[in-house]
Chain A
Amino acid sequence: MTQCGDVVTSEPVAGAGRWHLRGVRPFGADPVDVVLDGGMIVEVGPGLSPAGANILDADGLLALPGLVDLHTHLREPGREDAETVASGTRAAALGGFTTVFAMANTEPVADTAGVVEQVWRLGRDAGHCDVRPVGAVTEGLRGVRLAELGAMASSAAGVRMFSDDGHCVSDAVLMRRALEYVKAFDGVIAQHAQEPRLTEDAQMNEGAVSARLGLSGWPAAAEEAIIARDALLAGHVGSRLHVCHVSTAGSVEILRWAKSKGWRVTAEVTPHHLLLTDDLVTSFDPVFKVNPPLRTATDVEALRAGLADGTIDCIATDHAPHAPQDKETEWAAARPGMVGLETALSIAILAMVETGLLDWAGLADRMAIAPGRIGGLPDASPDGTRALSAGAVANLVLVDPAARWTVDPGALASRSRNTPYAGRNLPGRVQATFLRGRPTVLDGKIV
């Protein structure tokens, strides 16, 4: 069986060249020089002078490990009008990502070795960042029969994460079997926690705003009930559960409890759930329609606290591009989802760093190290100690934390424009991204 480690490290490093990054601040620490060669970080220290290297004068730019997104919708195959692997990974590189996990709800669904290999190859050919396909848990995302999880794990794509994202694996027995089955290849089931009967035709968070707007409600309990059930199942069978896009204060409490039991449960939160609230729906503008829905300020506060204390392990974008005809409609007809790859780091800085909840090392953990570990990336060390040090793979991002920029939907690299941040002035700009020693972004532009 092909190990996922073989997959990534066998990638070509041609053109990586030798780079001398002068005066970068790893995790915000004092400036040092970093030398990249042959796809690896070969030297880190003050005042280096490597021979024959391309010089990048970083002049105090922040250096973080290349960001890892466990939750991206690249839409290819099937909805290339909304996004392609190439356009989505360009957006990812510009956002500072070196790996994205591509969700399985494509057309056809990524529920066979053939489809996951196709997506993986498209990512490799585009070359902007690594694409790790997520396999569907059930055939066609229908929630009835398990897909061939083992075949996807053994494929060239080396799938380790499985999800029916967009749909909940609501059948408790099927969920239990999936959790058990993937133990054979150290897989993880990423659950979209949404009790389907409680959320039929649900349009927004159920609460004061939905009552006013007459939009049918998506109760927090519909997420929390599934998380509690799945945590119990994961604990019972000793399997790995990952909870997608946690959105409520109650979910954070349940996760805290599950972790206190020592169960192997991890969780992600999206940038938008760390910042936006359901009162934005008052405009009826479907750019704010997303699943799970935007919640209340109390939830936002609990999510931030949960991410800060590690109850929630990481940030994942749930980048969900949609064509204009799927968003420029009445609220109920619009598809849920927001693009997020190019704004994720800025929103995280705004919600977590500027508020003092995380320092740069903490942010790096939540956006690079922890997601790499959960996704089973071969370069991930359990505690992140290898990151940004000699001997580590040269996946890194240089950020100007003082720079501010205004979001212009038309200027995004994503093929879709459905950002909820249009016109917002945000902190933090990605200046350069290196994928195995090769720049994918320089001066804030795709190389």
Chain B
Amino acid sequence: MTDESLWYIFINASLISNFVLAYFLGICPFLGVSGKMETATKMGAAVTFVMIISSMCAYGIHALLVALNAPFLQLISYIVVIASTVQLVEMVIKKMSPALFKALGIFLPLITTNCAILGLALFQTNKGYNFLESLVYALGAGAGFTLALVLIAGLREQLNLADVPDVIKGTALTLVIAGILSLTFMGFAGLGL
């Protein structure tokens, strides 16, 4: 089955159906923490980490719930796992890098309710991926999320230096370039099947 090879899953999750720019999931950190390249990269790394952990946990939980014949617990279990993982990441970052902890601010606990992460867990279950495929899917989604964040952070850093009309400065401009970025990612749709 060539179309579901690991490489395809990775490209699919990161580019063709990029979580942020094609599925519009996880928009809030995409707009909120994309002011600086440095924080954007680290936020991307944090989200990717949470994605991988919660993807592994989701796989295990799904298997367990199927065995127990209780798939109705899927959603609530995923939420509990994601919330705890984010808590753990928060503690680790606070310990390792207080500066990053301050820079990420409120957006770090907001990963808890980030739809990109819950969406990932639900998508991989729906698509029926096995453990390895889930892992690659999470990695691809994380890479795509980081890519989107880095791209918009780069644009915003450049635009800080540009002479922009007053009316469009700030949030309005960010939303406009987010739209244009999404438009360019539509080009990858041609790669899909």
Are A and B subunits of one complex? no
Residues of A whose CB lies within 8 Å of any CB of B are none
